[in-house]
Every structure is written in C-alpha cells, then in structure tokens.
Chain A
Amino acid sequence: MTAELVLEARGLTRRFTGVLALSGVDFRLFAGEVHALMGQNGAGKSTLIKVLTGVHPPDAGELRLGGEPIQPGSPAAAQRLGISTVYQEVNLCPNLTVAENIFAGRYPRKSAAGLWRIDWARMQRDARALLARLNLSIDVTRLLSSYPVAVQQMVAIARALSVEAKVLILDEPTSSLDEQEVERLFTVLRQLRDEGMAILFVTHFLEQMYAVSDRITVLRNGERVGEYLKAELPPAALITAMVGRALSAAAGRNDSAAAAAGETLLEARGIGRRGQLNPVDLALRRGEVVGVGGLLGSGRTELARLLFGLDRADSGELRVGGEHLRFDNPAQAIRHGLAMCPEERKFDGIVAELSVRENIALALQARMGIFNCLSEARQKELADRFVQALGIKTADIDTPIALLSGGNQQKVVLARWLATAPKLLILDEPTRGIDVAAKQEIMNQILSLARDGLGVLFISSEMDEVVRVADRIVVMRDRSKVGELPGNSSEQAVYHLIAAEA
C-alpha cells in the first residue's frame, strides 16, 4: 500500500494518579484508510484518543502530523491542526439549530460593510452543503433536538468536517444507532476515506469493525499488542489479541426446563401508557430469564420504565408476588424486590463524584431509609465483596466512580442492585459500550443469578445475546408486543417476527 502516513505517535505514555493508562504506545494513521482501535474496557483506547486530540498531554512520547512534531494543548488546538473528533456521546447543543451546531464558535461573518454581522444565509448554505456531502438533506434551521440521534451523529460529523480536517476520530459512533443507520454512517465513512481522509474508529462491535475498517490496532492494558491489516486478523485471533487468552465458547442456557417450574414473580396485564407503550402482557417467573427483543424505539425501554415505576402506567394492572400493585416511583418497586440497571449509564446510573463504595451502597441504603444507616465498615465490606465477585477494576473502593472505565462503571451499577438482594432484575442494555470479555462476565453473572432463583428481564439490541441467554423472548415492534418465542429460537426467527406485518 502506498498510503501516506498522516498521524504518527511514538512511545506515548500517560499515567493517571499512578496508574499507567498508556505505556509506550506506537500508533500510525494513514490517509485514505479507516483504522479501527480495538481493546477491552480499560485497555487505553479512550486515553489514546484523548492524548491524540489534546485533552490530556502525554507524559512521554511524541506526536507527528504530516511529519511535523505537534503538541496539541486542547481539543480546539488539535482541531486547528486538522484533527477532528466525534465523541461517544453526541457533544452538541440540542437547543441550537442544526446549522448553528455545525458552526458554533465559528459563525461566518459579513464584511466590515455589513458591520461584521453573522452571515446567517451563508451559514445555512454551507451547513446544507456539508450535510449533502454526507447524503443528508434536512432542514438546517430546525432545532437539533427535533432530529433522532442518528441524524445528530451525522451533524456531529458534519461539524468535524467543517474545519478542514485531515484526521477524523470517531469514538464509538454506532452505540446508539440501529442497523440501517449504521450502514448509512459506514457509507459516509467509506466515501470520506476514498476522498483521502484518515479515519480512526473505535467500536465494540466486531462485525461493524470488519465491515468498515482497513487496518486494526489492538491495545491491551495500556500497551499496543499489534497493528494488523484486516485480512491478517480473523475474529478469533482478534479476540485472543484483545483478551490475551483464547475465549471459550459462550456459555448458553440449556437448563430451561428447571426454570419453568418457578413461581410467578411478576405479572403484567395490558400494562401501557398512552403515546409510549401499547398495552402489553408479560409474566416473569422465579429463575427465569426473559429476553426482550426489538429494535431501537420498539418500546423496550418504555416497558422497563413502566414496570419499575419510573413512568406511571395509565392502563392495565400489575401483580408482583401475587399482590395487586401500582408503582408511582422506583422506591416502591424496590421495596417489592425489583431492581433495574438503566440504559443510559451516565445519566441514570452512576453518581459520578461519589466513590465506588457509596455508589454500591446507595440503593440498599435508600431501601433501608435515612435513619438505619449502613456504617462505613458495612459499606466497605459490601463494596469489597462485590468488587471481588464482579471483578471490578478500581484503584480502591474510595475512588470516584467517574474515574472507572465504562464496563467497570456498569459492574458497579449492577453491584448496587445485587446488594439489595432483589427478586427480579430488569437489565436495560447492560452490555452496551462494554468490551467482549466484560460483556461475557456480566452475562455469566446474570445466568448464575438466575440459577439461584432471580427473575431477569433482559433487554438488549444485540439479538445474539438475547437469543443465547433467554428462556423466553418477548418480541416488540412499534411500541407493542408482537409475540413471544421460546428460548432456543434463532436470531432469524426473532427478526422474522419483527419484520412480519401485524
């Protein structure tokens, strides 16, 4: 390949409070290539990106852009050099228009004769042109919040392109997109690649990585394992490189007969909420894992929110443990043995500035009330137990949870609920944005809990996971339940049911 080397890093090292997050990492990015950065949580992917984009200065090592040494001191400085980044969570202002978002901070001005007023017409024209490059034709004068996440993602990319970018960095751009949207994004990426842009792409989805990338760098524990061309690295070898050992075949469930005997924990009849969820019937037994399959926006999350009392149902009835109940808030649901890991870990899950210990103790303490206070020793004992049981990687239990990697944060949120010894656990996308090994650890935990009698409602957009772990699969589409399938159905069967006309 005669590709031109655009961005090169040598021996990048970065420590955080004593922990080595990157150690002597070399990295090369070529023009006209999509380069995938792979690794487990905590492997150093985010840190590498943050060093490349000037968020953190490296402790050692050098960066070269087009052969020239650079030291970007901030993301803005990196952007001026031609390194643009689109972050995992869309970093735009929902209350501004699409065009304003694209040009925020760099509004085009009229000439002195026009008193340097903002040139709105030009801004809208340019915004439209940029989006057209991404095959997107939308009204750029509407508020960003009026568009779905996928479009917002495109706007973020358009913003990144609006500064003469040579390097485009995408940190998990697909984690909240559905399949069609992902395909569209990839079309755009391929097009940009063919125009000669150097693209760095971080994802947890192996399939997507293989679909779009040309070159792969694998990180593990802050070190570079290697750089490969896609053809050189089949999935099994990639996973081995990421994990450092060969992964055994995923443990599945084949003891569903035993589970069927459990008593009914929860029974919902026609539970729904206008505009969010059409009436749904659902039953969940002891020791049973019920999977909920469906695409984004099919009503999966809405169902979970109704069951947990986050939203109030305006139709139907709910029985928990044979008792007729109505949950007006999560506190009531928790009192009856429910627990829920929410979809948006960052917004609904973690309490960022509190320590791992306090985060784990929070739900149990909330159930015990204000005056029945867990002593610090009890909190510590609780936290130590779960840190060990779930393999949470943290410097110590008094580290603020925000400093942990995504997968470990998710494990802490899971630990928070397990500490309450729930009878019924609702998991909404528990493995989103988590690496393969952590994903499997979490899945195995869930299965072993179910064997011990916990009822689990498992919501995931990764159908292979749902099919693998569930005893029964509830299939949803367009805010309604469209059917139920037995546990060992194929992914095809689920998609078939989703696609079938009602």
Chain B
Amino acid sequence: MQRLLRHRLLWPFVTLALLLAVNAVFNPGFWQLQWRDGHLYGSVIDILNRAAPLALVALGMTLVIATRGIDISVGAVVAIAAAVAALMIGGELVVKDGVQTHVSRFPMGVAIAAALVVAALCGLWNGLLVAKVGMQPIIATLILMVAGRGIAQLLTGGQIITVYYAPFFFLGNGFLLGLPFAVFIAAAVWGVLHWLMTRTALGLFIQAIGINPAAARLAGLQERLITVCVYVFCGFAAGVAGLVISSNVKSADGNNAGMLMELDAILAVTLGGTLLTGGRFSLAGSVLGALIIQTLTSTIYSIGVPPEINMVVKAAVVFVVMLMQSAEFRAALRGWVVRPAAAGGAR
C-alpha cells in the first residue's frame, strides 16, 4: 500500500480517473460501447483515437526532456510531415477499367517513408544544433518551429491539400480488431521505446546525460551522438503523428496542422511526472498525460462548457493537477488541513 501511494504514476492515474468519473456523471452514456460494422464506438474509444497523435509526440518529447532538452518544433514537424505525405499521395481521379478511382501519385509506402524521413531530418537538424553547435535547446528548436511552419506552408502553397486516396485514410480512421488503428501505432511506438529502455542500456544513458552531461561524457558515453539520436527520434515521432492527423482529416493544412501541439506535448510529459530539469523520466506517464489532456478537452465539450470560457477551464484544471503533483504543495496542504483539526481536538 505504501509503495502504491508513493508510486510516481499515482497522481496521473488519480487525475485521469477523476476526469473519467466526472464524465460518467455528466454524461451517462460515456462508458457505453457499441459494436457497429465490426468496430467499437463510444466516447472512450473516441478519446483513445484522438489522444494517439499527442501521445506519439509526447513520447518523443519525453526523451528530449530527459536529456535536459526541449523541442518546441514538433508542431511544425507535424505540419511538414502531413504536407509531404499529402503532396506525394494526392489522389488523382483516373478512369481504370471504366471505373472512376483515385490513385496515389507515388506508391503510398514511398510517400509515408518520405514523410517520415523528412521528419527525422528535421529532428537531425535540431539535434545537431543542440549537441554539435551547442545552442540552447529552446532556441535551437525555436528556429525550426518558425521556419518549419513556413516550409509546410510553402509545400502546401498556403492551401489546404485534400487527399482523395482512400487507403491512406486507414492510418487515422481505420480499425483493427475493433479498435482505432492509430491506437495500435501509438502502442507500437511505446512498446519499442519501452523495450529499448528496459532491455538495453539506453534508458540509463539518457538519464545519466540528463542528470550530469559532463560526468556522462567522462564515463565514456557518446553523449552528443545519443542526444542527436534522441532529437531525431522526437522528429520521427512527430512525423508519425503528422501522418495520423492528416489521414484522420484527409488533408494537410500547412497553416494549422499541429498548431501549439508542442505545448500540449510538454504538458503531457509534465503531467506524467517527468521533470523538465531532465534525468528520470516516465514513458507511461507521458502517455497518461496525453490521455488526461484529451479527456479534459472532450469533457469540456461534452459537459457543455461555453466555448468562450473553455480555455480558461482547461487552464484551471491543469493548474490544479500540477499543484497536486507537487510533493511540497501536498505537504503544505496537509499542514493546513491537519493543523487546525489537531488544534480543535486539543480544545
């Protein structure tokens, strides 16, 4: 019990459970799942599906933050990856065997690979600026945050590019075994990372670099190489998220895709209990964080908070959650609650 109470994922879990409970109260149909056309439908499934891209971005961000860095360009990378994929797939209308069909401009596999390579290159750029040039991570990635949005707009010509090629929609809208395919993508990425962190020494290395880069280098870690790789992975994860998002909305919007997603991702990582000062990190925590954010967003819509104040409500909830995660605050709170009670007992 003591161990459970001290578990680092306790508070994210409690938060998520509370949010789900609030939903269940306001919306009796919240937990209802329907089986239609071989798929599961319901609010919870919806939340899972929508949280998947954010969870992907947050996973990449977790590793970057663990190395004492930060990557605020992920939103722009999402837009770039979406634009590259949408451009290369397109979906021209052709008549084949007397039937009108949409075909991909390039094979879909090539288009997806190209989008992911471009996203990874974005990460490489960030990583080189941070690890080789020695820029502060927030400044280094600020460059791509601004420039990347511009690149995405150049690619799309400032327009929203619509995709007509149906197979591509599977990434963001398809179902596998009754569950949204995007959930499987996020789960697979998490699984690979989890394996890397527990079965290889990468987790130890990333923590050591985040806690004390000088000592890590002296101990023989290739700390620059590992840092670069972490940024490359972060870019790659953002690219995957970009594919899922553009597939989901069947288009690529250079202006708005992934807008402010970097902030949600950082928030998800923090909600999951990873400190921005680097070092110890929790991948599962970041996934929980992403689920919390998505549940919160859904809750605000579903309980009918007027749109003009929903940002404020979201901010207030996040503020309270952050406070509750702080051990110092909880100790202070216990002091306020317990002390008057004890005084009352003495009287």
Residues of A within 8 A of B (CB): 308, 310, 329-331, 333-335, 340, 342, 347-354, 358, 361-363, 365-374, 416
Binds A, one of B54-62, B183-191, B211-219, B247-255: B211-219
Given contacts A329-B222, A330-B219, A330-B220, contact A348 B201 (CB under 8 A): no
What 0/1 readout, one digit per residue, does chain B (190-205) give for beta carbons within 8 Å of chain A?
A: 0000000001111011
When distances are taken between beta carbons in the complex, the residues of chain A under 8 Å from B199 are: 373
B204 touches A358 (CB 8 A): yes
B201 touches A334 (CB 8 A): no
Cβ of B179 within 8 Å of any chain A Cβ, yes or no, is no
21 residue pairs from A and B, CB less than 8 Å apart: A308-B218, A310-B217, A329-B222, A330-B218, A330-B220, A331-B222, A333-B220, A348-B215, A351-B208, A351-B216, A353-B211, A354-B207, A354-B208, A358-B204, A358-B207, A362-B204, A363-B220, A366-B201, A366-B205, A370-B200, A371-B201
Given contacts A352-B212, A362-B208, contact A371 B219 (CB under 8 A): no
When distances are taken between beta carbons in the complex, the residues of chain B under 8 Å from A351 are: 207-208, 211-212, 215-216, 219
Cβ of B279 within 8 Å of any chain A Cβ, yes or no, is yes
Q: Which of A310, A365, A416 contacts B201 (CB 8 A)?
A: A365
Closest Cβ–Cβ distance, residue B303 to chain A (whole Å): 41
In the bound complex, CA of A90 to CA of B343 (Å): 43
Closest Cβ–Cβ distance, residue B195 to chain A (whole Å): 11
A370 touches B218 (CB 8 A): no
In the bound complex, CA of A459 to CA of B222 (Å): 26
Closest Cβ–Cβ distance, residue A274 to chain B (whole Å): 21
When distances are taken between beta carbons in the complex, the residues of chain B under 8 Å from A329 are: 217, 222
In the bound complex, CA of A135 to CA of B152 (Å): 64
A373 touches B201 (CB 8 A): yes
When distances are taken between beta carbons in the complex, the residues of chain B under 8 Å from A374 are: 201
When distances are taken between beta carbons in the complex, the residues of chain A under 8 Å from B211 are: 351-354
Closest Cβ–Cβ distance, residue A320 to chain B (whole Å): 15
B222 touches A353 (CB 8 A): no
In the bound complex, CA of A358 to CA of B201 (Å): 11
In the bound complex, CA of A363 to CA of B221 (Å): 8
User: Which chain B residue lies CB-closest to A358?
Assistant: B204
Residues of B within 8 A of A (CB): 199-202, 204-205, 207-208, 211-212, 214-222, 279-280
When distances are taken between beta carbons in the complex, the residues of chain B under 8 Å from A348 are: 214-215, 218
Closest Cβ–Cβ distance, residue B33 to chain A (whole Å): 40
User: Which chain B residue lies CB-closest to A363?
Assistant: B219
User: Which chain B residue lies CB-closest to A372?
Assistant: B201
In the bound complex, CA of A358 to CA of B280 (Å): 13
User: Which chain B residue lies CB-closest to A339?
Assistant: B220
In the bound complex, CA of A254 to CA of B202 (Å): 46
B214 touches A353 (CB 8 A): no
When distances are taken between beta carbons in the complex, the residues of chain A under 8 Å from B221 are: 331, 362, 366
B280 touches A353 (CB 8 A): yes
When distances are taken between beta carbons in the complex, the residues of chain A under 8 Å from B212 are: 347, 350-352
Q: Which of B214, B219, B280 contacts A362 (CB 8 A)?
A: B219
When distances are taken between beta carbons in the complex, the residues of chain A under 8 Å from B214 are: 347-348
Closest Cβ–Cβ distance, residue A81 to chain B (whole Å): 24
Please name the 3 residue pairs, one residue from A and one from B, whose CB atoms are nearest each other, closest first.
Answer: A366-B220, A334-B220, A363-B219
A367 touches B220 (CB 8 A): yes
Tell which of A340, A358, A366 has the most Cβ of chain B within 10 Å: A366
A340 touches B200 (CB 8 A): no
User: Which chain B residue lies CB-closest to A347?
Assistant: B214
- Beyond A353-B207, A370-B202, 16 additional contacts (C-beta under 8 Å) are A308-B218, A310-B217, A329-B222, A331-B221, A334-B220, A335-B220, A347-B212, A351-B215, A352-B211, A362-B204, A365-B204, A366-B219, A366-B220, A370-B200, A370-B201, A373-B200
User: Which chain B residue lies CB-closest to A338?
Assistant: B220
